[in-house]
Amino acid sequence: MKTKLLVCVSLCFVMCLSQILAAQQPPGQAATSSNPPEPVLPYSPSLDLSSMDRSVDPCADFYQYSCGGWQKRNPIPNDQVSWSVYGKLYQDNLIFLRGILQQAAAKKGQSDAVTQKIGDFYAACMDEAAVEKRGLATIKSQLDLIAQLKSAHDLGPVVARLQLSVTGPILFAGGSRQDPDNSEQQIAGLDQSGLGLPDRDYYTKDDAKSKEIRERYLQHLQTTFELLGDAPAAARANAVTVMRMETALANASMTRVERRDPYKRKNKVKLAELDQLIPNFNWQAYFAELKAPQFEIVNVAPASFFKQVNTQLTSEPLENWKNYLRFHVANAYAPYLASKFVNENFEFYLKYLRGAKEMQPRWKRCVQFTDRDLGEALGQAYVRKVFSPELKQSTLNMVKGIEAAMEVRIHQLDWMSPETKQQALEKLHGIRNKIGYPEKWRDYSSVRIDRNDFLGDVQRATEFERHRNINKIGQPVDHAEWGMTPPTVNAYYSGQMNDINFPAGVLQPPLYDSKMDDAPNYGNTGGTIGHELTHGFDDQGSKFDAHGNLREWWTKEDRQKFEEHTKCVADQYAQYVVVDDIRINSRLTLGEDVADLGGEILAYLAWRDATKSKDLQPVAGLTPDQRFFVGFAQWACDNERPEEMRLRALTDPHSPARYRINGVVVNMPEFSRAFACKAGQPMVNPPEKMCSVW
């Protein structure tokens, strides 16, 4: 489980679902570990009439019309920060995965190596008494390493050592990345990081709420130092120091909107120049400790951030650096330590910042830790049970239909020149479709998992993953690799890979429902496929070519016209209120909003084409077109706490669920026709304001 805000793989469909957990006790709760139940995924239909509120006028608020019943029936469970159709499916997955893990854990020494590994990892996590008893002993070696620092110059290898095994931010991020100019090649990369609050804006905004959050964070810093054994006065002083250091790093960091521009994230320098840019850091010792392969080029972005690091390396005394690192080691490991750390972590990150009322039961956290650290081992058992070859084939057919619809749309665009269309088609044809699970599973055989040492397991799994990442430097890109585990209820597009990725977890009912007819399936999963495809052509994705290289393939005029079309969407979403007086930061959400609109248009066209020879009839008072749109809206039914909405307004590139539906249908004449909406009604944009990009 990620108790802190995580940045998920770029351009995913919903926010990281690993954070969305439920409170209900699962069926089979009474089963003992020696008699674990056979796991089953419950069924819910992709179009649920009881989730609607037909007293609402669909032309006034289509989201409410489609989801009003769901919202009433689904209050947010106490251990959740929000609750949604996606979140419920994720919850069902957790129960299901728990069944797999309990079975694996019960078969001590009698199963294959992969099953043994996930079973031991889960069993070690569930052994709360052992975790409690170990106390801080498991992180002693890291704390000693920090205590023994003699000078700021020694920070290089220590930062490297900590980055290898600590599960949170240590000053900056270092590893491999795709070369923006040659997407077939991995190069070294350094990036901003090192903050304890979810975004740099938390340190820089000066409204009353931001100030209150910083005061509360100072208290969290102090408490963490006290848990490490500092006296209250020293803990307070150390808290103030860390806050000052992080604030300086935050000020030098790029905003999320700036980071949407891949050109701003590109700054390739020679390794020798790194020593000139940041001379106060021992890079040679840093990369040696990481055991990084030899390389000459490293991407350093943003340079302003690393210049600030360089300044602080001399302006802050060594003692302050030690405290900065001590805090981040303890803060990152808190979810895996004794209960006093777990509780403090929950109190600040989930209760105060995001509004959860109570902690998730331990088993839920343990299932998620296993999915995060050994995801492609756990995923093997998962897909064996829930993802048949037939399901893979039927979703692949849908993908092909939506790609064909996109090809038609590109040909029809009246604002784009033939030259740019040619390039766009080449890019569309170059997209790789990855459905369900990887063709080759990650090999965890070198990760030692000890049934009696939970945090040790987490550290070794983290180090395995970090080395796997670092070892890619200088290597060709592996296109078979996935950035999400198979049980994940989410999907993503990668601009540099030019691929769409649909884990098995997101291809289950009620999102993809093989028992249901095409209309709601195309509205829902078809729209998601179209969404991911459109990401290849949104404000960010459009900057990468068919091969995933950062290259302008548009004519100047076409780029200008494209920006006029996307500005229409940005202006539309900027009007929507998230919570209180906070409006959508539509320059942050632009790519997602464009993808939502484009995706649903493509899904509609593909659905019409797939069913052109069928005689579609109304069902339960809804016409086929109405069923398509209600099916679409019902992926997004949700309830959210105000704290969570506030956090997402700053950090989530997706608009709130209501606008991901209403903001799309106002731009689709097919919707107005389906529900006989009239000009002037809220769900109908006047023609001159109607936005369309793709």
The secondary structure element, H or E, covering residue 94 is: helix 85-106
Q: How many CB atoms lie within 10 A of CB 679?
A: 9
Q: Is 136 exposed, middle or buried (0-12, 13-18, 19+ CB in 10 A)?
A: middle
Question: Minimum Å distance from CB 538 to Zn ion?
Answer: 8
Burial 22-54 (b: 16+ CB within 10 A, else e): bbeebebeeeeeeebbebebeebbbbbeebbbe
Please give the Cα distance from 383 to 365 (Å, whole number): 21
Q: How many CB atoms lie within 10 A of CB 206?
A: 7
Question: Minimum Å distance from CB 567 to Zn ion?
Answer: 19
Q: In terms of CB distance, is 101 or 595 closer to Zn ion?
A: 595
Size of interface with Zn ion, in residues (CB under 5 A): 3
Site map (CB under 5 A) of Zn ion, residues 304-343, x = contact = ----------------------------------------
Are 586 and 571 a contacting pair, CB within 8 Å?
yes
Q: Which of 520, 479, 526, 536 is nearest to 506 (CA)?
A: 526
Q: In terms of CB distance, is 13 or 324 closer to Zn ion?
A: 13
Q: How many CB atoms lie within 10 A of CB 176?
A: 22
Report residue 192 as tokens. Answer: 């901003």
Q: In terms of CB distance, is 459 or 589 closer to Zn ion?
A: 589
Question: Minimum Å distance from CB 570 to Zn ion?
Answer: 16
Beta bridge partners, 500, equal: 433, 493
Q: Which stretch binds Zn ion (CB under 5 A): 6-14, 261-269, 274-282, 482-490?
A: 6-14
Question: Minimum Å distance from CB 592 to Zn ion?
Answer: 5
Report, as residue numbers or ranges, the catalytic residues: 532, 596
Q: In terms of CB distance, is 15 or 416 closer to Zn ion?
A: 15
Q: How would DSSP label each residue in 537-575? A: TSTTGGGB-TTS-B---S-HHHHHHHHHHHHHHHHHHHT
Question: Minimum Å distance from CB 664 to Zn ion?
Answer: 13
Q: In terms of CB distance, is 286 or 573 closer to Zn ion?
A: 573
Report residue 236 as tokens. Answer: 């307070």
Are 105 and 125 a contacting pair, CB within 8 Å?
no
Q: In terms of CB distance, is 13 or 628 closer to Zn ion?
A: 13
Question: Minimum Å distance from CB 262 to Zn ion?
Answer: 16
Q: Which stretch binds Zn ion (CB under 5 A): 8-16, 426-434, 457-465, 679-687?
A: 8-16
Residues 189-228 that bind Zn ion (CB under 5 A): none
Please give the Cα distance from 155 to 657 (Å, whole number): 44
Q: In terms of CB distance, is 592 or 640 closer to Zn ion?
A: 592
Q: Which of 609, 607, 670, 663 is nearest to 633 (CA)?
A: 663
Pure H helices in 413-502? 418-430, 454-470
Burial 246-263 (b: 16+ CB within 10 A, else e): bbbbbebbbebeebbebe
Report residue 230 as tokens. Answer: 């500092």
Please give the Cα distance from 571 to 573 (Å, whole number): 6
Please give the Cα distance from 645 to 652 (Å, whole number): 9
The SS3 of residue 496 is: coil
Q: In terms of CB distance, is 226 or 652 closer to Zn ion?
A: 652
Site map (CB under 5 A) of Zn ion, residues 669-688, x = contact = --------------------
Please give the Cα distance from 672 to 462 (Å, whole number): 51
Question: Minimum Å distance from CB 399 to Zn ion?
Answer: 16
Q: In terms of CB distance, is 327 or 573 closer to Zn ion?
A: 573
Residues 9-38 that bind Zn ion (CB under 5 A): 11
Q: Which of 249, 243, 180, 253 is nearest to 216 (CA)?
A: 243
Q: In terms of CB distance, is 360 or 540 closer to Zn ion?
A: 540
Question: Minimum Å distance from CB 589 to Zn ion?
Answer: 10
Please give the Cα distance from 189 to 332 (Å, whole number): 22
Q: In terms of CB distance, is 313 or 507 closer to Zn ion?
A: 507
Residues 230-269 that bind Zn ion (CB under 5 A): none
Site map (CB under 5 A) of Zn ion, residues 580-599, x = contact = ------------x--x----
Question: Minimum Å distance from CB 638 to Zn ion?
Answer: 16
Question: Minimum Å distance from CB 417 to Zn ion?
Answer: 27
The secondary structure element, H or E, covering residue 438 is: none
Question: Minimum Å distance from CB 603 to Zn ion?
Answer: 14
Please give the Cα distance from 364 to 621 (Å, whole number): 40
Report residue 135 as tokens. Answer: 């106390």
Please give the Cα distance from 549 to 182 (Å, whole number): 6
For the chain, give percent helix, strand, coil, nearest 5: 55, 10, 35
Q: Is 355 left (phi over 0), alpha (psi -120 to 50) or beta?
A: left
Q: In terms of CB distance, is 228 or 595 closer to Zn ion?
A: 595
Site map (CB under 5 A) of Zn ion, residues 594-623, x = contact = -x----------------------------
Question: Minimum Å distance from CB 3 to Zn ion?
Answer: 24
Q: Which of 623, 674, 399 is nearest to 527 (CA)?
A: 399
Residues at the interface with Zn ion (CB under 5 A):
11, 592, 595
